[in-house]
A and B are shown apart, each in its own frame.
Chain A
Amino acid sequence: AQTVTQSQPEMSVQEAETVTLSCTYDTSESNYYLFWYKQPPSRQMILVIRQEAYKQQNATENRFSVNFQKAAKSFSLKISDSQLGDTAMYFCAFMGGTSGSRLTFGEGTQLTVNP
């Protein structure tokens, strides 16, 4: 079974600064997807960024980028130029290539951006 671990329950960052959220996972599959989802106080799950395991290049979406280390099974999220609207719970998630779209979530990291 796959597991996803987020070792940082809470983090805080000053507005305009950079913060990195950690995520590690365990799987025996070679083909899979990794995601970071954001859940603001509204509780709506919002996709932040996606990475296909077969792609060596790290995914980037504007201020959000990942550091995907496949051998180490690590998938960290870097948020640059943090904004107050980035305050949310962030979940790392794994989807195996044979899982039929089933997502396994990490425990979550509550990020607070301070003005």
Chain B
Amino acid sequence: GAVVSQHPSRVICKSGTSVKIECRSLDFQATTMFWYRQFPKQSLMLMATSNEGSKATYEQGVEKDKFLINHASLTLSTLTVTSAHPEDSSFYICSARDLGTGNTGELFFGEGSRLTVL
């Protein structure tokens, strides 16, 4: 199946700094990628839909100025957590759909990135 890679897998930062997480589709093009947040022992919550060449679409309650999303190419989307605070500590996961495989509905997930804000 298609491969989605996230980097970094783990990151620790100080409160007030910004952190960038990358999501890459390695062997396919993805016009749309999705960013999720997952707290321990909870489900995945969709944060935003990243659209190549246009603005991201944020879910209700997600601060767009806090979580900046850029999708500048068909294989890369980035999530920047700005002015991070301890409450932003979480597991962030991205996913992408390989349109080249037809309308199978399947999304491919990255390995996730664990953010810890001190």
Q: Which residues on A sit within 8 Å (CB–CB) of B42?
A: 107-108
- For B1, list chain A residues within 8 Å (CB): 47
Considering only residues 9-44 of chain A, those with a C-beta below 8 Å from chain B are: 33, 35, 42-44
Complex alpha-carbon distance, A33 and B38, angstroms:
22
- The residue that A107 contacts in the complex, of B43, B93, B95, B114, with Cβ under 8 A, is B43
- Say how far B48's CB is from chain A's closest CB, in angstroms: 10
Instruction: Write the nearest CB–CB distance from B70 to chain A, whole angstroms.
Output: 19
* A45 sits at the interface (CB 8 A): yes
Q: Which of A68-76, A80-88, A98-106 contacts B (4 or more CB under 8 A)?
A: A98-106
- Chain B min CB distance to A56 (Å): 17
B105 touches A50 (CB 8 A): yes
B interface, by DSSP: helix, strand, loop or mixed?
Answer: strand
Q: How large is the interface on B (under 10, 10 to 19, 20 to 34, 35 or more residues)?
A: 20 to 34
Is B118 close to A, CB under 8 A?
no
- Size category of the A interface is 20 to 34
Interface members, chain B 62-118 (any A CB < 8 Å) = 91, 93, 95, 97, 104-107, 109, 111-112, 114
Interface residues of B in 40-67 (CB under 8 A from A): 41-46, 49
Instruction: Name A's B-contacting residues (CB within 8 A).
Output: 33, 35, 42-45, 47, 50, 52, 91, 95, 100-108, 110
Q: Taking beta carbons and an 8 Å cutoff, which residues of B are in contact with A?
A: 1, 32, 34, 38, 41-46, 49, 91, 93, 95, 97, 104-107, 109, 111-112, 114
